[in-house]
Structure 1
Amino acid sequence: MVTDLPQRPAAGRRAAVIPPELRTALATLATADELLVATDFDGVMAPLVQRAEDARPLPESAAALRALAEVPHTSTALISGRALASLRHAASPEPETLLVGSHGAETWTGPNAEPLQLTPVQAALLARARQAVASVVDASPGCRLEDKPAGVVLHTRGAPDDVASAAVDAARGRLGELDGVQVTDGKRVLEASVVHSNKGEGIRALRELTGASAVLFAGDDVTDEHGFAALQRGDVGIKVGPGATAAGFRVDSPADFAEVLTHLLQLRRAAVEN
């Protein structure tokens, strides 16, 4: 388990972007019979921004993931808290890239994938959850509400810290009164969902679907810890940025993760060609 980032070196001396132990793990991972490369989007493929709709993947990361999808015996996936429609808009993924949205509640595994359908009970519960969050947003300047197919999200990134904290507490209290609502914390967000799922379940489903013998998963938020917990021996988990984590490895930023993907692409191509 990695706990936090080490101190940066003095000015003029830059630490290696890819730690030596991660390079070693990637070299082994690249030889897998069937490889799944799965990654969160915001904070990993794309830098975090004030407005979620403005996020875009770094060109180097997008190019590397696109190229990995073309390598034989290699599958790629985006596993995000975003709704699928939002993920497609921001990431512009290749058709070969599998998608898991809304923390696992929505999936796209090909043209024949069934869209998410709520039961009447779930739809009624979602309406109540939305009303609870909307009432908090109305009383909290700088906060906003996002609708998802299976949930509703309180965004506090645009609010002062004290307003954000009070809004999260109020929303959590009101949502806690609704039996059957799953509440998930993230970076300046609080999400309520009527479909109980997480990124770990998404990784397990994708592993089975692709027949992967090894998985790389990268994430930056507390919601990604379910994904790291689902990894098995021989897999590689990468935490992007600070914070305690169950991931075995860490890099500083989305820009550093772009180098990781590019390096893995080179290794994987060489392994498959030999």
Structure 2
Amino acid sequence: MTADPAGLPADLIAAVERLCRTPRLLVAMDFDGTMAPLVPLAGDARPLPAAADAFAALAQLPGTTTALISGRALASLRRVASPPREALLIGSHGAEVWLGPDARPLTLTEDQARLLGQASALLRDIAGEHPGTLLEEKPAGIVLHTRMATDAVAAAAVEQAHLALDALPGVYLSAGKRVLEVSVVRADKGQGLRTLRDAVHATAVLFAGDDVTDEHGFSALGPEDVGVKVGSGQTAALFRIDSPEAVGPLLELVLDSRRTRG
């Protein structure tokens, strides 16, 4: 595979080439909106072929670890992403961690399970009253999807959810692109990224993401790392690419640069 950096910003190309000289590189990627285009139904998402191929090839290189870090539950992430066996996985915005076959599944306390049941019941009522909204259950939370609703219905559903859930202690809400994440475990992608870095003793990190929830990940990066925002919007990332279609060339550049170093 030969990287064609055409279309990538020159400063990003230079930063990636410097990054790839590091002894232990962690390549951590968001999935929806980054490895895969956003789609109306979450179960229909699939990684773009160029990005998936380069990601899988990177997982085979010495001194290089790949990881997916997603808001999806791990089971959903595995189903749609089909990650390579070597890839590490962070799900539910950091609440679920899979670092290998010995990884323990997330277990809620009795209080957390009770809270989750209460929050889920409230959201089921709200979704039933707002056409086009859907719910997705996770081990530590539940997600209100509004991508298939009109803007007015989506805004009303999210407002009602906040009114119902903001006052519940131990329930944490975060907004993404046409989703409202509700969790009984406080976690974010910055925490997940730090967990990955420590686990593999990474000397530098490449992290790419598209959503506001990825900003926690960008904020966790250091001066030796490279953060790439996919798409528009304010960001703490120092670099930006236009769309998921540019993620393939980005990962191919990393792959070629690491192979050259090797």
Aligned partner of 1:109: which letter?
Answer: L
Aligned partner of 1:116: which letter?
Answer: L
Q: How far apart, in 2, do the equivalents of 1:121 and 1:64 lie? A: 43
Q: Deviations over 1:164-198 (max 9, x none)?
A: 00000000111112111110100000011000000
Match of 2:115 in 1: 125
From 190, 194, 216, give the equivalent of 2:184.
Answer: 194
Match of 2:243 in 1: 253
Q: How far apart, in 2, do the equivalents of 1:17 and 1:264 lie? A: 15
1:264 equivalent to 2:260? Answer no
Query: What number of residue pairs does the alignment pair up?
Result: 258
Match of 2:79 in 1: 89
From 52, 55, 61, give the equivalent of 2:45.
Answer: 55
Q: How far apart, in 1, do the equivalents of 2:107 and 2:44 lie? A: 28
Q: Secondary structure at the match of 2:164?
A: helix
Match of 2:26 in 1: 36
1:238 equivalent to 2:238? Answer no
Q: How far apart, in 2, do the equivalents of 1:74 and 1:251 lie? A: 23
Match of 1:183 in 2: 173
Q: Provide the TM-score with structure 2 as the length reference.
A: 0.97
Q: Deviations over 1:126-150 (max 9, x none)?
A: 0011011111101001101111000
Match of 1:75 in 2: 65
**5 Å matches for 1:1-40?**
16-40=6-30
From 85, 103, 127, give the equivalent of 2:93.
Answer: 103
Q: How far apart, in 1, do the equivalents of 2:201 and 2:153 lie? A: 46
Q: Secondary structure at the match of 1:242?
A: coil
Aligned-pair distance for 1:16?
4.8
From 163, 166, 170, give the equivalent of 2:156.
Answer: 166
Gaps of 5+ in 1: 1-14
The CA RMSD measured in Å over matched residues stands at 0.9
Match of 1:207 in 2: 197
Aligned partner of 2:72: which letter?
Answer: R
Q: How far apart, in 2, do the equivalents of 1:173 and 1:31 lie? A: 50
Q: Secondary structure at the match of 2:206?
A: strand
Q: How far apart, in 1, do the equivalents of 2:116 and 2:60 lie? A: 39
Aligned partner of 1:41: which letter?
Answer: F
Match of 1:5 in 2: none
Greater than 2 Å deviation, 4+ residue runs: none
Q: Secondary structure at the match of 1:145?
A: strand
Match of 1:6 in 2: none
Q: How far apart, in 2, do the equivalents of 1:264 and 1:19 lie? A: 14
Gaps of 5+ in 2: none
Q: Deviations over 1:46-96 (max 9, x none)?
A: 011111100000011011010001010000000000000000000000110
Match of 1:148 in 2: 138
Q: How far apart, in 1, do the equivalents of 2:248 and 2:164 lie? A: 40
Q: How far apart, in 1, do the equivalents of 2:242 and 2:94 lie? A: 26
Aligned partner of 2:248: which letter?
Answer: A
Aligned partner of 1:212: which letter?
Answer: A
